[in-house]
Amino acid sequence: TVDNGDDHMDVTIEGPGTIGDLVETSALVEVKNVWEWTRYSLIVYGATNETRITFGSEREVKCRLYLDNITVTRAKDENPEAPAPEALVT
């Protein structure tokens, strides 16, 4: 877990769009190992140019989480799946 006891990161959609199951506008991404770079993916349905994706929360905590190389791509139209988290070799 992270030093403050958290083992997840909040991801929230504001505006058009939902995460994953076409109902939720927020998700908790489990952070298993804070000491290595890990690639995470999620699928946002119904996103437009008005959609805003927020990583983190408004809680005041004494820790940092580094995000790098955020990429937004169009998923395939039928049966899209987000890949499982994978450790990155540095």
> For residue range 4-59, what is the model confidence (pLDDT) as tens digits?
556 778 889 999 999 887 788 888 887 776 677 888 888 888 889 999 998 876 66
From 36, 37, 32, select the one nearest 7 (Cα to Cα).
32
pLDDT at position 7 is 74
- Written as six digits, the tokens of 21 are 């199951």
Say yes or no to pLDDT of 1 above 60: no
